[in-house]
Every structure is written in structure tokens, then in C-alpha cells.
């Protein structure tokens, strides 16, 4: 089959590899019809995630058709069109039982911090991902669901990660009616977080980035104020001024470990790798939220340490909430939001690109070319 193939930092290509097979009675094999590229994929594409092995296939946001079913699978049959949350969850461990599906204790038994994730290095379990014609999906009765017939496939594929992740970012912010919410990052996740903040009753939503076309898009898609951090001076001071020197009620970090904006963070976090990526957006979030406020982190950081202003967290009495999204928990609510017309997630998709051109697709998304916000890869077998 054709699959995305990681060759080393900044080098991916589409090439042939063996089709996956059922390895466990609870598996299904899926013929992929759509697979997105995520901001999280950029961290592995840039070589920042430990134990990303040459030859692996990325892709944790995908939908497709069930083509093989393990003998213990009860809820899926051949021909079903399914969406597959990016987390791999056993459904039985203490964490899955609390609906902490991203924190499953069984799907990545080599690690205590991270659960299994499709196509996200051996640090996250070594599972091949869905940027391919076929993919093996473990625990098929737990995470995946059959796509309701009234849900557009481009909306369905965004339900595997970015819409739920943005929504959970807003949810973890504990937003109260009238709150001022600042979202750092106007990528797909930040856009969804800003849009979702209104669902919780925010009174004012501000998004911060440095990419003008994304800021412009945010104004219409998320109905928020949008500022370029390269033209507002010190972003923390700017936000304090915007909030009567009080600080925002809630700050959301939707940037993660590759943040720009601080030479010190960039050199220590990205060039010298003395910390697990640059934590600039998280700094700004901690320093621009009000005393007693909440910082919600969905931007991804590595498993080792980062330089963050913990003293300010203590002295301001902040609450920090963070996680990988538990996609499965949110699906019923978010599907009903789509049905009721509150949101059409696919509005953020700017590119549909054949899987054969995966190398160009990564370059365009990574370098933020061609006004790219969200890219969907279409495998050849899904185009016939």
C-alpha cells in the first residue's frame, strides 16, 4: 500500500509498505478515506519527539471504511465508515473508566506519562498512523464510532482531534459567563478553542499569533479580536492594558513546544534542546492571566522539563489544567453542536492534497505557505 514514510527531520515521502493485518481479536483494519496533518505532526516532522523512527507512518486524524474485523469486535462490521479518535484507549483501565481516554494505562505500556497515539513515535506506543491507504485500529469497540450519515466526512475527520481538542481547551478553562478568554495560537486548535469559548459564555475572546492570514481568518471563523504579537510590543503588557491591568480570566496555550517570540526560549528549547521545546506561549499565558485565573494547556510539550515561571503560578494562585484531548468523551456533544448548526468544523480546511504529494503537503503546512490552515490527505484508493 501507499503510506507516508518518515525518513528523518523535515523529510517525509509517500512510498510502498506492507498492508497492516489484524494482530489482536479486538482490531479492525481501515481503508483510509481522509487523513489530516496536525500541528502535532509538525513536532515529529521537525525531529523534536524522542524515538521517532525512520520508516514509521504518521497520522492520528483519520476516517475510513472497515475492511477487516477481528473476531472479538462487536460494534463494527465490514463496510462501516468510521471515525477514529487520535487516542488509543483500552476502555478498561482505571483511567479509561474515568473517561480519561487520552491517559489510558494499557495502550502504551512502556510509558507512564503518555497513552498510545496513532502515528506518533515509539514514545507514544509505536503505532503506525493513518496517513496511508490502510491502518490497523486496536480496541476497535472503544474509541472509534460509525460516522452518522448526516455528518460530512470533512467534519468527521476534524472530530478525531482538532475540534474536540479546541473544545476541551475551552472546557478546561472553566469559562464563566462574561469572561475574557485569551487564546495563544491561531492554528486549527487555537481557532477551535476560540470558537468554543463562546459556547461556554465568554464575553470577550482574543486570539494571538503572528501569521496575518490566520489572524484574519480567526476574526470571521471565531468572531474574536485578533492581534499579531510581533506588532503589539510586549504581549503580556498589551494584554494587561486590554484588561484594565487585571489580566484575562482564562488563558489558553494552543501553541506548544515550537512557540516563536522569545530568543532565549527558541535557543534553549529548539536549537540547543536544553529544555523540551520553547515555552514562550505558556510564559505569556501564565503572565497575562489574572490572579486566581486559569491557564488551560493543550499545546504539546515533551516529556522532560521546560523553563516556565512557576513562581508566578504560585504567587498569583493560578490553576493550571492540561491534557491531551479525550476525544471519545466529547463526540456526542460535538456531533450535536454540528447538527444544530453551531459550527461547521470543515470551514478551517484549506487544502485537500493527494497522499502521493505528502512531502509537499508537510512543507506547505510547516512553512505556513499558501494560506494553509488545515490539510486533508486523500489516499489514491479513496479517489477511485
Instruction: By CB under 6 A, name the binding residues for ligand NAD.
Output: 38-40, 42-43, 161, 165, 184-190, 208-211, 214, 229, 254-256, 259-261, 280-281, 298-300, 324-325
If binding is defined by CB under 5 A, does position 313 make contact with Zn ion?
Answer: no
Residue 358 and residue 7 in contact, taking contact as beta carbons nearer than 8 Å: no
Q: How far is the CB of 13 from ligand NAD (least distance, A)?
A: 21
How far apart are alpha carbons 259 and 238 in whole angstroms? 18
- Closest to Zn ion by CB, 90 vs 208, is 90
How far apart are alpha carbons 282 and 184 in whole angstroms? 8
Q: How far is the CB of 104 from ligand NAD (least distance, A)?
A: 13
If binding is defined by CB under 5 A, does position 38 make contact with Zn ion?
Answer: yes
Q: How far is the CB of 294 from ligand NAD (least distance, A)?
A: 16
If binding is defined by CB under 5 A, does position 157 make contact with Zn ion?
Answer: no
Q: How far is the CB of 1 from ligand NAD (least distance, A)?
A: 26
Residue 256 and residue 301 in contact, taking contact as beta carbons nearer than 8 Å: yes
The interface partner of residue 93, options being ligand NAD, Zn ion, none and the CB cut-off 5 to 8 Å by kind, is Zn ion
Selection from 374, 384, 362, 340 nearest residue 154 by Cα: 374
Beta strands 248-253; 289-297: pairing state: parallel
How far apart are alpha carbons 187 and 226 in whole angstroms? 12
How far apart are alpha carbons 303 and 275 in whole angstroms? 10
- Please tell me the count of residues contacting Zn ion according to CB under 5 A: 9
- Closest to Zn ion by CB, 110 vs 230, is 110
- Closest to ligand NAD by CB, 90 vs 279, is 279
Q: How far is the CB of 378 from ligand NAD (least distance, A)?
A: 19
Grid look-up 464575553 returns 203
The interface partner of residue 214, options being ligand NAD, Zn ion, none and the CB cut-off 5 to 8 Å by kind, is ligand NAD
The interface partner of residue 90, options being Zn ion, ligand NAD, none and the CB cut-off 5 to 8 Å by kind, is Zn ion
Cα dihedral 60, 64, 66, 68, rounded to 10, equals -60
If binding is defined by CB under 5 A, does position 26 make contact with Zn ion?
Answer: no
- Closest to Zn ion by CB, 32 vs 202, is 32
How far apart are alpha carbons 32 and 131 in whole angstroms? 8
If binding is defined by CB under 5 A, does position 378 make contact with Zn ion?
Answer: no
- Closest to ligand NAD by CB, 116 vs 299, is 299
- Closest to ligand NAD by CB, 42 vs 197, is 42
Residue 170 and residue 158 in contact, taking contact as beta carbons nearer than 8 Å: no
Task: Map the footprint of Zn ion across residues 48-87, applying CB under 5 A.
Answer: 61
If binding is defined by CB under 5 A, does position 90 make contact with Zn ion?
Answer: yes
Q: How far is CA 304 from CA 48, 273, 274, 277, 381, in A?
A: 12, 11, 10, 9, 40
Q: Output Rg (C-alpha) for the chain, integer angstroms.
A: 20
Grid look-up 510547516 returns 366
Question: For 56, which DSSP code?
Answer: -
Interface residue list for Zn ion (CB under 5 A): 38, 40, 61, 90, 93, 96, 104, 106, 161
Amino acid at each position: 500500500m501507499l503510506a507516508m514514510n518518515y525518513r528523518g527531520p523535515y523529510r517525509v515521502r509517500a512510498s510502498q509498505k506492507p498492508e497492516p493485518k489484524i494482530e489482536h481479536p479486538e482490531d479492525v483494519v481501515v481503508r483510509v478515506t481522509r487523513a489530516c496533518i496536525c500541528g502535532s505532526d509538525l513536532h515529529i516532522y521537525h525531529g523534536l519527539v524522542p524515538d521517532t523512527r525512520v520508516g514509521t507512518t504518521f497520522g492520528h486524524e483519520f476516517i475510513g471504511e472497515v475492511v477487516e474485523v477481528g473476531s472479538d469486535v462487536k460494534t463494527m462490521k465490514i463496510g462501516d465508515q468510521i471515525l477514529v479518535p487520535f487516542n488509543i484507549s483500552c476502555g478498561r483501565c482505571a483511567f479509561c473508566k474515568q473517561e480519561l481516554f487520552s491517559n489510558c494505562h494499557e495502550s502504551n505500556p512502556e510509558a507512564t506519562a503518555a497513552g498510545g497515539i496513532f502515528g506518533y513515535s515509539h514514545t507514544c506506543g509505536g503505532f503506525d498512523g493513518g496517513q496511508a491507504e490502510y491502518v490497523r485500529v486496536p480496541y476497535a469497540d472503544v474509541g472509534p464510532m460509525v460516522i452518522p450519515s448526516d455528518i460530512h466526512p470533512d467534519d468527521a475527520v476534524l472530530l478525531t482531534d482538532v475540534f474536540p481538542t479546541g473544545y476541551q481547551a475551552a472546557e478546561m478553562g472553566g469559562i464563566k459567563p462574561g469572561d475574557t478568554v485569551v487564546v495563544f495560537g491561531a492554528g486549527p486548535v487555537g481557532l477551535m478553542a476560540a470558537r468554543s469559548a463562546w459556547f461556554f459564555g465568554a464575553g470577550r475572546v482574543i486570539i494571538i499569533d503572528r501569521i496575518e492570514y490566520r489572524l484574519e481568518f480567526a476574526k470571521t471563523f471565531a468572531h474574536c479580536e485578533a492581534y499579531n504579537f510581533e506588532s503589539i510590543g510586549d504581549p503580556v503588557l498589551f494584554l494587561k492594558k486590554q484588561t484594565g491591568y487585571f489580566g484575562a480570566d482564562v488563558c489558553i496555550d494552543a501553541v506548544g513546544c515550537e512557540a516563536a517570540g522569545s530568543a532565549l526560549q527558541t535557543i534553549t528549547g529548539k536549537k540547543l534542546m536544553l529544555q523540551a521545546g520553547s515555552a514562550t506561549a505558556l510564559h505569556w499565558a501564565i503572565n497575562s492571566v489574572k490572579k486566581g485565573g486559569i491557564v488551560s494547556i493543550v499545546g504539546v510539550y515533551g516529556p522532560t522539563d521546560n523553563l516556565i515561571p512557576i513562581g508566578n503560578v504560585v504567587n498569583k494562585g493560578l490553576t493550571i489544567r492540561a491534557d491531551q484531548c479525550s476525544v471519545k468523551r466529547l463526540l456526542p456533544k460535538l456531533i450535536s453542536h454540528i447538527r444544530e448548526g453551531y459550527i461547521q468544523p470543515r470551514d478551517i480546511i484549506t487544502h485537500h492534497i493527494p497522499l502521493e504529494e505528502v512531502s509537499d503537503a508537510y512543507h506547505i503546512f510547516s512553512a505556513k505557505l499558501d494560506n494553509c490552515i488545515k490539510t486533508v490527505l486523500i489516499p489514491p484508493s479513496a479517489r477511485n
